[in-house]
Amino acid sequence: VVLDSIGLAIWGPKPVVVPSPVGDSVIHLFGVGVRPQELILLAVAIFVMIVFDIVMRKTMVGKVMRAVAANGNVASLMGINTN
């Protein structure tokens, strides 16, 4: 509510239009129209999921987090700080 009020005070009640950096043209894929922003959003989301998967599988922090999630008591017995 506070942020909404601040935004109304700064920009007023009229909607603010921010132009897209990649344009507003529609790309037709398999009979479906999508905007370039939606494809970029999909690509970024897939990239972030892949990075999180790599972090969870390959780093020590990821392995510790998975161990605590699987069984906190056993992880604590193995010397992992579960707090």
23-57 pLDDT per residue, tens: 888 999 889 999 999 999 999 999 999 999 999 99
Question: Distance between the two ends of the chain, CA-based, in angstroms?
Answer: 34
Mean pLDDT of 63-78: 92
Q: How many domains does the chain have?
A: 1
Determine, yes or no, domain membership for 4. Answer: no
Q: Is residue 41 within 8 Å of 34, Cβ to Cβ?
A: no
Q: Is residue 8 within 8 Å of 14, Cβ to Cβ?
A: no
Q: Is the pLDDT of residue 58 over 90?
A: yes
What residue ranges in the chain does DSSP mark as E strands? 27-29, 32-34
Binned at pLDDT 50, 70 and 90, residue 71 comes out as very high
Q: Is the pLDDT of residue 18 over 90?
A: no
57: enclosing H helix or E strand? helix 36-58
Determine the structural domain holding residue 63 and report its residue range. Answer: 22-83
pLDDT of the residue at 60 = 93
